[in-house]
Structure 1
């Protein structure tokens, strides 16, 4: 199949590129804004047609959650309108589309893991635009899959894991939120799941994916420091109210992954196992900084 991966220079896009070597039966088109502006409907239609695309994996998004509160138009353009263009182009060719979404479509007031059937209720511009994008993709493309994920990190780009390692080495102490609960997601594992969906065959619908297990940002940081060999920085638990942000964060956003595991036969690693793998690569110096 001919597979288009948008947002190819991001965390997930880079992992898709790395894993393409293990899925060499397909032909790939890795694009970022320089190669394909996903906000340009005509450019998308031409690209998808000329390259006879069979599957679009949209890894592009506006993810600056706090900045989104003041940049609503740009956020909506990238998270809602552009996915609609991609989905319509896929539909015109009878192609499939995989749209990556977020736990921010929920307000985080649950106390048990969110299933795909749970009512959505975003509490931020970011979450609102991502939900609109989900709806647009499902409305425009018959062979559409939406994957909601959370707390994404990798060896690529800027992310929480890299930031905590850097701050842990720079500071004597560090305050981290302990009353927001979720599950980290290693982008490498999410990329594996996307390839499994492509290879086993698209089953339309919404799916949840993160690593297994549950933690707070505070617990996550302690594990990062432990695995990175950082013992000179004291990590202090903070309440959310002690660390105000422009955008509201879900207090509880653990995702139930039963559906994606059963539908595509996935085995998902525990978050600590995947974190250990990521930090080993970062510590070896072979990762892109």
Structure 2
């Protein structure tokens, strides 16, 4: 099957010295929320042992990266930096010997502590809103996910407006990538995330998904974080615990239109979906082949 997906300028992502080759691979970033108020699990992995166990299970299920977060994106009261550090750093230390660890934070102080503890990637859902963040990442030798969002951290942004959601997101991501490069972050350590649902309505997120291939012109690996999100629930009228099929459909669509990394709660199911896409694209061989391969037949 011919692959019409966009070509990456730097197909091998440098995760603090660990290469992640995305030229013929669709990676899965597992989510571990060390928060008491996660939108998805309601705090099921807030306890340290539960968070570490979830990370280990994700690795066993095939995750390429584990993303640890101590503060959710949704609006709410600020979490002190010291508290966020106390939540995420013990998890980073436990998981970093097993897998490249990402830390979901918009605080430069948390990013610095995470990198020192072994984090390979900083996932900034505010798109480097704090000018100090890019310098911290560059100095620490980590990679960065630059996500698109509009609001100040943890504040509401009702009725978001875009002249053209894809064009506006592309311009934002291009500008913030330049900011990262100018601060010393190499091109092969930069991932871009269009920010599904982040300060976007369901219709805006669906359009962004539908036109995801247009962001391929940016040339950077695209990460999509769409697992169990509200645009899936509102599109299908499904509660949070019933959004896996819709999330997988969206993940496969994005993978076929340029995404190279999928951030997901349901790791094993997402890994299977993306490995199937890889096989269809001719990027990987089946694990085994018996069906109709013997003279006696096996239909």
The answer, yes or no, to whether TM exceeds 0.5 is: no
TM range (shorter): 0.3 to 0.5
TM-score, normalised on structure 1? 0.36
